[in-house]
Structure 1
Amino acid sequence: MRWSSLPPPNTLLPFEATVRHASMTAAARELHVTHGAVSRQVQNLERSLGVSLFERGTRSLRPTQDARQLAAVVRDALDQIDAAARQTSRRAPTGPLTLSCEPTLLMRWLIPRLPDLAELVPDVTVHLSAGGGPVFFERDNIDLAIRRDDFPFPAEAHRTRLFAERIGPVCRPDLVPRLTAPGMAEVTLLHSGTRPEAWDDWKRITGTAVEPAAQQTLEHFYLTLQAAVAGVGAAIAPFAVVQDDLERGQLVAPFGFVPDGTGYHLLSSRPSGQDAREHRLTAWLRSRTEELDGEPEPAESGSR
């Protein structure tokens, strides 16, 4: 036999999943088999290699250093086999794509545009998942993710730039005179627990001095925007998530929007050309985000 040291191939998938999750239960769930089936295959692998691969506690399972090294090699080999199989296969990928998107952008921009996606790309089914921050494609079973580049992206991720983030104060139309008063002293400034520096960022970018009469912080960004729609005060908002509110006249942006130096990207674990569904979804997203990436309105410097 050419590969005399090769362990039983059917043990490798359960082993790699167990190391990755540090849990046989999670591995079994991922592979759609029983806990006992995973346990037997891991034990078969240990017998084949003549070594224990896990430190087993009463309620814990810890991979040894040898196990982590072997699992990394197995993972790389499986990735190569998967890529080669996709290139060789003549069958087009089928089934839904799972798209992870930051919650506020998902709620206020992407979901309202799903009917357009269904009409223009009817052969692509998308499952939406709300999420932000680091992306774990395999662990979370994600095909694509829309993220703002305010944290390091995974080195292996393929990215497609969608649009630049542009921010500005927004409020209900009847609050405009109070918002544009000297120093904005007559308007409550709304803050978000998830973007606590939003007002400071806008003031720094525009050189605007603001001395509010009152301030209020809400836990989530979308709650802050809803409070602005309700007339509670003024919030700093990205153009993308208030675009529809502006068009409906529910909100106005008296000072326009300025780029804050960040942008949104579509992340994938593989180039979009390898999957026709991802390619079509990417093309649709790029066509719909062109309007978000227009020339920012100029901001006046100095105090208001």
Structure 2
Amino acid sequence: MRWPALPPLNTLLPFEATVRHASMTAAARELHVTHGAVSRQIQNLERTLGTRLFERGARTLRPTPQARQLAAVVRDALDQIDGAAGQISRRAPAGPLTLSCEPTLLMRWLIPRLPDLTASVPDVTVHLSAGGGPVHFERDGIDLAIRRDDFPLPEEADRTRLFGERIGPVCRPDLASGLATADGIRDAVLLHTATRPRAWDDWRGITGLTARPASEQTLEHFYLTLQAAAAGVGVAIAPYAVARDDLERGQLVAPFGFVPDGTAYHLLGRRPSGQDARVGRLVAWLRDRTAGLADEARSAG
């Protein structure tokens, strides 16, 4: 045999799924088999390798370091097989695409544009999922993810740059006249965002302007700080993309405009867009709708 150490191939799918979920029940559900079938395959694999792959507790199942090492290799091999099969397959991929997007961008930019997406790309169905930070395509069952590059993006992911981030203070129109001074913002309530706590510091560092607040308040997400700003609670630092529609409606103004902060948003995919026509059409739509954001942000304020 060419591969004398190769374990039974039918054990590898249930093994990889069990390691990923740390649960035979979840692995069985994913593979549409019974818990007993998964358990038998894991036992078979352990007998073949002559080692235990899981530490079993009363209600826990913890993969050993050796199991994690093997599962990572199996996962890479399955990804390569999947990619090769996709390249030679004559069948067009079908079904919906699952797109993960950072929550505020999802709520305030992408969801309002879903009718346009449906009209422009009627043959592509997209399921949306709110998520941020590191991307795990297989574990989370997602095909695509929109992420800001403020953390290392996965090297193996297909990447399309969408737009550069621009930030600036925003507030209700009737508060704007009392904010702008020669050197910055005075005597305002500064609204902070827990998910990006250094946003005000970043803006001050980029512009050289100051902000001397009367008080400060922190909310969990940008969409909450924007809602508070629109209600007249105070002044929020906002990315242009998520404040754009409120600016256009006149609910918010940007007295100091928007400046680039050096980061950008990217569309990440588990495989190149050329392998799936649905992904290619979605990428084209996203690039078209985000193409003008930088010019709009430069002229806002």
TM-score exceeds 0.5: yes
1:269-284 aligned within 5 A: 269-284=270-285
Is the 1:179–1:234 contact (alpha carbons within 8 Å) kept by the matching residues of 2?
Answer: no
TM-score by length of 2: 0.93
Aligned to 2:59: 59
Aligned to 1:82: 82
1:193-232 aligned within 5 A: 193-232=194-233
Structure 2 residue 289 is the aligned partner of structure 1 residue 288: yes
Deviation at 1:140, TM superposition (A): 0.2
Deviation at 1:192, TM superposition (A): 1.5
Q: Which amino acid aligns with 2:38?
A: V
Is the 1:11–1:42 contact (alpha carbons within 8 Å) kept by the matching residues of 2?
Answer: yes
Aligned to 1:122: 122
CA gap 1:190/1:51 in 2 versus in 1, 3 angstroms:
closer
CA distance in 2, matches of 1:2, 1:133: 42
CA distance in 2, matches of 1:2, 1:214: 71
For structure 1, which segment, 217-226 or 4-13, has the greater mean C-alpha deviation from structure 2 after superposition? 4-13
For structure 1, which segment, 44-53 or 197-206, has the greater mean C-alpha deviation from structure 2 after superposition? 44-53
Q: Deviations over 1:217-273 (max 9, x none)?
A: 222221110011111111111110011111111111111110011110001111111
Q: Which amino acid aligns with 2:213?
A: P
Is the 2:240–2:297 contact (alpha carbons within 8 Å) kept by the matching residues of 1?
Answer: no
* Secondary structure of the corresponding residue to residue 165 of structure 2: strand
CA distance in 2, matches of 1:77, 1:210: 53
Deviation at 1:6, TM superposition (A): 3.9
* Secondary structure of the corresponding residue to residue 167 of structure 1: strand
CA gap 1:197/1:65 in 2 versus in 1, 3 angstroms:
closer
Is the 1:259–1:296 contact (alpha carbons within 8 Å) kept by the matching residues of 2?
Answer: no
Alpha-carbon RMSD: 2.0
Structure 2 residue 171 is the aligned partner of structure 1 residue 151: no
Q: Deviations over 1:77-125 (max 9, x none)?
A: 2222212211221000000000000000000000000000000000000
For structure 1, which segment, 59-68 or 215-224, has the greater mean C-alpha deviation from structure 2 after superposition? 59-68
CA gap 1:205/1:10 in 2 versus in 1, 3 angstroms:
same
CA distance in 2, matches of 1:199, 1:119: 38
Is the 1:258–1:298 contact (alpha carbons within 8 Å) kept by the matching residues of 2?
Answer: no
Aligned to 1:100: 100
CA distance in 1, matches of 2:206, 2:5: 62
For structure 1, which segment, 104-113 or 152-161, has the greater mean C-alpha deviation from structure 2 after superposition? 152-161
Deviation at 1:298, TM superposition (A): 8.8
Structure 2 residue 140 is the aligned partner of structure 1 residue 140: yes
Q: Which amino acid aligns with 1:203?
A: R
Deviation at 1:279, TM superposition (A): 0.7
Aligned to 2:28: 28
Aligned length: 299
Deviation at 1:277, TM superposition (A): 0.7
Q: Which amino acid aligns with 2:145?
A: A
TM-score by length of 1: 0.92
* Secondary structure of the corresponding residue to residue 178 of structure 1: coil
- Gaps of at least 5 residues in structure 2 are none
CA distance in 1, matches of 2:4, 2:196: 57
Q: Which amino acid aligns with 2:217?
A: Q
Structure 2 residue 168 is the aligned partner of structure 1 residue 168: yes
Identity score, percent: 78
* Secondary structure of the corresponding residue to residue 179 of structure 1: coil
Aligned to 1:302: none
CA gap 1:197/1:68 in 2 versus in 1, 3 angstroms:
closer
Aligned to 2:45: 45
Is the 1:161–1:266 contact (alpha carbons within 8 Å) kept by the matching residues of 2?
Answer: yes
For structure 1, which segment, 197-206 or 32-41, has the greater mean C-alpha deviation from structure 2 after superposition? 32-41
